[in-house]
Amino acid sequence: MEQTRDSITDIWGERTPHFGDWPVRVDRRTTAEPDHWVQSACVLCSNGCGLEIGVKDGCIVGVRGLDRDPINHGRLGPKGLHGWEANHSPDRLTKPLIRRNGVLEEASWDEAMSLIVERSKAIIQQHTSLAMGFYTSGQLFLEEYYTLAVLGKAGLSTPHMDGNTRLCTATAAAALKQSFGSDGQPGSYIDLDTTDTILHVGHNIASQHTVLWMRILDRLAGPNPPKLIVIDPRRTFTAEKAHIHLAPRVGTNVPVLNGLLHLLIEAGQIDQTYIDAHTIGFDELKKMVSSWTPERVEALTGVSADQMREAARLLGSTKTLVSSALQGVYQSMQATAAAVQVNNIHLIRGLIGRPGCGIYQMNGQPTAQNTRETGADGDMPGFRNSGNPEHMNQLARLWNVDVRKIPHWSPPTHAMQIWRYAEQGSIKFMWISATNPAVSMPELARIRRILQKEDLFIVVQDAFMTETARYADVVLPAAIWGEKTGCMTNVDRTVHLTQKAIEPPGEAKSDLEIFVDYSRRMDFRDKDGAPLIKWDTAEGAFAAWKECTRGRPCDYTGMSYEKLRRGGIQWPCNDEHPDGTSHLYTDGVFHTSADDCEAYGFDMTTGGAVTPEEYKANDPKGKAFIRAIDYEPPHEEPDQDYPLWLTTGRLVYHFHTRTKTSRSRALDEAAPDSFVQIAREDADRYGIAEGDLIEVESRRGRVIEPARIGDIEQGLVFIPFHYGYWDDPKRSRAANELTLTEWDPVSKQPHFKYAAVRIRKASAADERELVADQAGLFPETGTNTLNK
Amino acid sequence: MHVGNYIGLVQSSEQQLANAFAQVADHHGDEPDIYQVCQTLSGWSQQHVTDLQPLVDRYAATKNDEPDRLSQTLFKEPRSGGLALLRDLHDLYLLASEVELCWVVLLQAARGLRHQELESRCEEFDKTTKRQITWLMTRIKQAAPQTLIVAE
Ligand code: SF4
């Protein structure tokens, strides 16, 4: 085995101090000497590190970072260096499965697809396409999402399409649309190489985006180090390095950010010329935040007035600023509202659209950006506006279908609503690709009830027998990263081509092949009777996608697979910008004009949609929106019965529900089990010692977790959300047993970051007590699949 | 002069709207959004009721029973399920429109009286009512196709 560093014990590796040009450091881990290398990118977080897959005798034997890649300059983190082992895991799904007499049995592709098509047709005939729902992922490739979006919107014409991206990054998209008129990150990762100040809000970048954090650590170790401000209730790895760490109480991001904005405005540390020329809404913001004095903020959030002043002084005097936000913002109360305040800091100080100034409304998953761009999440492809008839006509022309086929007459159905319709029985068919709602959705007991419904036909397309797949009527074995070719776009709009290195196991097929096959079997056609999906290959899908993006903010027309083989390219990439674009909005003109914008906007408190007429009456014509919003208390707060706050989150070694990461030995061993983190004071109060088993209970469910004490505010408990039941069905342990079915009104992202809970020391008997369906143990059939 | 009459009318309409939003929040708590949004919107109407009191006192408003006819037909029994949700949203929309119309009527009177305070209060209240209506319309549009076409 060759390994340049041990990323498990030393997550970020050796420092290569820098300012300006980030030095190359190639991280490599191989278990045998490859006979050849295949260019790709890492698919285990939204950072999108370029890498090469080492192949020997048709198997993946390791990876090495791509030295010339703009994202990582050769580096890889623990997930990147180890995650590939999942490809060769012995429990990969290799054959389609069909439920017969309650038990999932092997079947041929033809049998499985025929059954899906037969059920689809019967359901559509009886209930229309409105009974069909699709729930996808942030894990597939761009070409696959686009194919899914076209077959769903122009083939079936169902508005019920969303992805688990709703759970992780819907707020990023919503905040970008609300401020700038369209999705798309304004800045670039290169901004980190020169910026003076960095602000992380609810983003534990050290754990979540380890390679991006290396870039910051290297700046901190180099000449002219930036100042670091971290807003996070927990003392995370990131917070430990901060010059200023603001630790607000759960659910109080908005007051802290409003307080900072107030101090900036009060001190006159704003760019009035920029505000006047390029924004609307400043006066309202000024009025709204004026009551958020540092003292008032301190009383509500626990962040001291002095710290607020110190942070504001830094933010007010810096000449360049990079900000990032993630789940601490997105999965909290007032998610979009808080994310938008981060944008506001940049707008009122004019720190946008030039080197050193970037906003990363981070994505969680590697291809979440593509889910949004292509419309596999319910948006319209190419950031088009469903309320804009011209945009819809463009799609109709492109696909050669009647515009009325495209479900733009009602807002797209968001994930939580799709599940609600399934619960109520009006969605009767659900196709779940590459995601695991039985662990990742809030309020799991409810999700399991829905998955068990007799009148819901479930197709699960995955690489493994996940907790969700156990409930399926048909399971389709999918090829994954390394076994198929396609593009993915990371947070800073960099598009990478990930190429096929090996054959998929057994009969597994790429998601693209499966969707194309479904479309052909369903006989979806355009107006002239030609097949609706006119491509069979990834490159063919990419060509179609390019046409779809022509003239849109995410313009891909200047890219090709050939060009992408030379390295990642940032969109927009077209005739005007053949090498891509590092910064959006360099001229201060945003995508807000009525004929260009992706959405007409929403009321930040209710989510009520602005009508086209209202929008046109005050057409911002390219000016950015500064949106003011006041604090609202969370809907569930600790009380006598449930006196503690629960917050959930991620660990450095795992991704999503561990479907892949726990199948890499080193990652699994580094973080084998869930836990609950509590403050020393609370441990003492409840008589809990390190490692004791604790029962954590909310109004919706309970879990048993070993205790970890310290590094967290008193009154707060933290549980990582990765752990489910497929590998360790001994105790109730999925954090989402406890969470709320409640969402942000604008982004519709669920509130995973807070719930009221109580804790007590558990006994050995509690530990063994597990609801049968949690473990997927169904005694009637004697198998681990559901008899339904 | 019937300004007092209309202020009384709008105050009791707001009270009914506040109650109706709270009722719908309770009946449809299984929806992912209804409980929280309707609670918030109920709060807005309740706030209007309080904020209107000085005007009610000033114009010696007489209690007006008329709008009771509306809520009587609208919210009799607790309803739940897809169609019930749509019907409840539909009824909330009518109640909120009733309030909205009151603001328009009062605003005209305020202008005629050149009563600056009444005018600006009405404009402010009207904005909030419009936001309630906008949300209701958004939610109704979403619920309509599914409810009428597929729901049992
Ligand atoms: S930072 Fe993200 S993309 Fe890069 S190696 Fe780690 S998991 Fe992969």
Chain B positions with Cβ closer than 8 Å to A: 30-33, 35-37, 39-41, 81-82, 131-132, 134-138, 141-142, 144-147, 149-152
Report residue A127 as tokens. 């209930």
My answer on whether A392 and A528 are in the same domain is yes
Tell me which chain A residues have a C-beta less than 8 angstroms from the C-beta of B32.
Answer: 416-417, 420, 741-743, 750
Ligand 1 cavity residues, CB under 6 Å: A 42, 44-45, 47-49, 72, 76-77, 79-80, 209-211
Distance (Å) from the alpha carbon of B50 to chain A's nearest alpha carbon = 20
User: Distance of alpha carbon A697 from its chain centroid, rounded?
Assistant: 27
pLDDT digits (tens, 9 = 90+) for A367-393: 888 988 998 887 899 999 999 999 999
Share of chain A above pLDDT 70, in %: 96
> Which atom of ligand 1 sits closest to the CA of residue A81?
5
Q: How far apart (Å, rounded) are the C-alpha atoms in residues A149 and A141?
A: 12
pLDDT of residue A62: 95
Protein residue whose Cα sits closest to atom 2 of ligand 1: A45
Chain B residues close to A752, C-beta within 8 Å: none
pLDDT at residue A781, rounded to an integer: 38
Picking from B30, B85, B146 by the largest number of A CB atoms within 10 A of its own CB, the best residue to mutate is B146
CA-to-CA dists, residue A705 to A73, A761, A770, B45, angstroms? 39, 10, 13, 44
Distance CA B39, CA A118 (A): 44
Residues 6+ away with beta carbon under 8 Å from A321: A195, A196, A197, A198, A199, A315, A345, A346, A349, A351, A356, A357
Q: What is the ipTM of this complex?
A: 0.88
Same domain, A351 and A385: no
The fraction of chain A above a pLDDT of 90, given in percent, is 65
In terms of domains, do A417 and A277 share one?
no
First to last CA, chain A: 47
Under 8 Å between Cβ of A321 and A346:
yes
Burial of B87 (0-12, 13-18, 19+ CB in 10 A): middle
Of A65, A88, A111, the domain-final residue: A88
Q: Mean pLDDT: which of A310-314, A696-700, A744-748, B141-145 is highest?
A: A310-314
At residue A763, the pLDDT reads: 74
Q: What integer best gives the mean pLDDT of chain B? A: 86
- The answer to whether the Cβ–Cβ distance between A743 and B32 falls below 8 Å is yes
In terms of domains, do A160 and A183 share one?
no
Strand bridging mode A716-720 / A494-498? unpaired
Q: Which helix (H) or strand (E) holds A119?
A: helix A109-127
Q: pLDDT at residue B2 above 50?
A: yes
Distance between CA atoms of residues A465 and A469, nearest Å: 5
Q: Residues with Cβ < 8 Å from A672, sequence gap 6 or more? A: none
A331 and A462 in a single domain? The answer is no
pLDDT of residue B62 exceeding 70, the answer is no
Instruction: Give the number of A-B residue pairs with CB atoms closer than 8 Å.
Output: 84
A46 alpha carbon – ligand 1 mean position (Å) = 7
pLDDT band per the 50, 70, 90 thresholds, residue B64: low
> Is residue A601 very low, low, confident or very high in pLDDT (cuts 50, 70, 90)?
confident
Res. B77 pLDDT band, cuts 50 70 90: low
Q: Which residue of chain A is at minimal alpha-carbon distance from B32? A: A742
Judged by CB atoms closer than 8 Å, whether chains meet at A127 and B150 is answered as yes
Q: How far is CA A512 from CA A311, A348, A380, A481, B81, in A?
A: 48, 44, 19, 12, 37
Pocket test for ligand 1, best of A8, A40, A45 (most atoms within 8 A of CB): A45
pTM of the model: 0.92
User: B42 to chain A: nearest residue by CA?
Assistant: A606
pLDDT at A648: 83
Distance from residue A58's CA to the centre of ligand 1 (Å): 24
CATH number of the domain to which A683 belongs: 2.40.40.20
Residue-wise pLDDT for A332-345, tens only, equals 778 888 899 999 99
The CATH number assigned to the domain holding A58 equals 2.20.25.90
The per-residue pLDDT for A700 is: 84
Q: How far apart are CA A644 and CA A665, in angstroms?
A: 35
- Chain B positions touching A748 (Cβ under 8 A) are 33
Decide if A608 and B135 are in contact by the 8 Å CB cutoff: yes
Residue A397 CA to residue A246 CA, distance in Å, equals 51
CATH number for the domain spanning B69: value is: 1.20.1260.10
Query: What is the structure's pLDDT at B152?
Result: 65
- Of B35, B134, B150, Cβ closest to residue A603: B134
Please check whether residues A81 and A101 belong to one and the same domain. Answer: no
B55 pLDDT more than 90: no
Indicate if A618 and A720 belong to the same structural domain.
no
- Give the other-Cβ count within 10 Å of B60's Cβ: 10
Q: Does residue A18 sit at the B interface (CB-CB below 8 Å)?
A: no
Query: B-chain residues within 8 Å CB-CB of A606?
Result: 37, 40-41, 131-132, 134-135
CATH number at residue A288: 3.40.228.10
* pLDDT at B138 exceeding the cut of 50: yes
* pLDDT digits 0-9 by tens, A691-721: 898 889 888 888 888 899 988 888 888 888 8
pLDDT of residue A743: 75
3-class DSSP state of B110: helix
Q: Can you read off the two tokens belonging to residue A565?
A: 């083989």
Measured between CA atoms, how close is B151 to chain A, in angstroms? 5
Where is the domain boundary, A88, A112, A132? A88
B chain contacts of residue A417, beta-carbon cutoff 8 Å:
32, 142
Residue A395's CATH number: 3.40.50.740
Which residue range(s) make up the domain with B50?
A: 3-150
Pick from A609, A742, A748: which is nearest to B36 by CB? A742
For residues A184 and A299, state if they share a domain.
yes
* Confidence grade of residue A726 (pLDDT, cut at 50, 70, 90): confident
Higher pLDDT, B65 or B81: B81
CB contact under 8 A, A610 and B31: no
Q: What pLDDT sits at residue A680?
A: 92
Instruction: Find the A22 Cα to ligand 1 centroid distance in Å.
Output: 17
Burial of B26 per CB tally in 10 Å (0-12, 13-18, 19+): middle
User: What is the reported pLDDT for A785?
Assistant: 44
Q: Which domain holds residue A81?
A: 2-88
Q: Per the domain annotation, does A551 fall within a domain?
A: no
- A635 chain-B contacts, CB cut-off 8 A: 35-36, 39
At B140 the pLDDT is 94
> Which of chain B's residues have a Cβ under 8 Å away from the Cβ of A411?
138, 141-142
Note whether B150 contacts A130, CB cutoff 8 Å: yes
| Residue A632 reports pLDDT greater than 70 | yes
* A358 and A416 together in one domain: no
The pLDDT confidence band at residue A535, using thresholds 50, 70 and 90, is very high
Chain A's closest residue to B80, CA to CA, is A424
Query: pLDDT tens digits, residue range A395-427?
Result: 999 999 999 999 998 788 888 899 999 999 999
What total of structural domains would you count in chain B? Answer: 1
Q: Which of residues 137-166 of A touch B (CB under 8 A)?
A: 159
Nearest 5°: the CA angle A571, A511, A142 is: 5
For A94, the enclosing helix (H) or strand (E) is none
Mean pLDDT calculated for residue range A80-102: 93
Q: How close is the nearest chain B Cα to the Cα of A351, in Å?
A: 32
Quick one: average pLDDT of A168-190?
89
At A233 the pLDDT is 85
Average pLDDT on A315-319 reads 95
CB atoms within 10 A of CB A295: 12
Instruction: Tell me the average pLDDT across A124-148.
Output: 92
Name the residue of A49, A207, A667 to mutate for ligand 1: max ligand atoms within 8 A of Cβ.
A49
Q: What's residue A555's pLDDT?
A: 96
Average pLDDT, chain A: 90
With beta carbons less than 8 A apart as the criterion, state whether A329 and A104 touch.
no
Alpha-carbon span A161 to A415, nearest angstrom:
8
Instruction: Report pLDDT for A786.
Output: 40
For residue A44, the number of C-alpha atoms closer than 13 Å in the C-beta half-sphere is 34
Looking at residue B63, what is its pLDDT? 56
Domain's final residue, options A61, A88, A115: A88
Number of domains within chain A: 4
d(CA A505, CA A522): 27
A699 within domain boundaries: yes
- Given a cut of 70, is residue A774 above it in pLDDT? no
